[in-house]
Amino acid sequence: MDAALKDYGRMRVTGNSNDSLKFRVPTLRNVNITAYYGHDGRFSDAALVLQHYTFGVQQSNTLDPLLKNGIPLTNIEISYLLSFLSTLTDVSLATNARFAKP
């Protein structure tokens, strides 16, 4: 493991070195109102996440081989994905006082 890396991902929880730099994936429920995104919280909205994986993936020793070429998405595919993600957001439920934490 690179000595400069301080984020061990799931390995810190499981103790299994195969889990190094692997991270829990959160739910997509209410994704449009639950920023920030990315394992380190660097993206303020879902469109920025899609742009990153389409155009901004940086090569590194820890990059998953499946992301070597990014995720090639067209503008229309990005639009469709953002529309789909919007269907997973229920603002009325998210703002309902009955479900608020005490």
Give me the residue label for tokens 């070429």.
Answer: 69
For 22-52, the pLDDT digits (tens) are 887 778 888 888 888 887 889 999 999 999 9
The answer to pTM > 0.75 is: no
Measure the CA–CA gap between 15 and 97, rounded to whole angstroms.
40
73 CB contacts (<8 Å, ≥6 apart)?
50, 53, 54, 81
58-68 confidence digits (pLDDT tens): 998 888 899 99
Is residue 85 within 8 Å of 29, Cβ to Cβ? no
